[in-house]
Amino acid sequence: MKKKSQVLEKFKILEADMESDTGRKIKRIRSDNGGEYTDRLFKEYLSKQGIRHEKTVPYMPSRMDWLSG
């Protein structure tokens, strides 16, 4: 992504693809506390969709080690 403002748009595409592929809805996401994940529109969308947003502890890279693996 070129802009953080594209996060919601890209998330909606990902959500639709995952639901189409699996037939299941996303129940929760986990992210850092980056502004692109905590802005009002993103939070409102998640709430409307019934998606729980879990935020990782700031400055704890060990929590993310498994992602870079």
Establish if 65 belongs to a structural domain: no
Number of structural domains in the chain: 1
Establish if 20 belongs to a structural domain: yes
Q: What is the mean pLDDT of the chain?
A: 84
Rounded alpha-carbon distances, angstroms, from residue 13 to 57, 60, 63: 27, 29, 26
pLDDT for res 35:
83
Q: Between residues 24 and 6, which one has the greater pLDDT?
A: 24
Q: Which domain holds residue 50?
A: 4-59
User: What gap in Å lies between CA 4 and CA 53, rounded to an integer?
Assistant: 17
Establish if 16 belongs to a structural domain: yes
pTM value > 0.85: no
What confidence tens digit (pLDDT) does each residue in 38-62 have? 889 999 999 999 999 998 877 666 5
CATH label of the domain that carries residue 28: 3.30.420.10
**Structure confidence at residue 6 as a pLDDT band (50, 70, 90):** confident
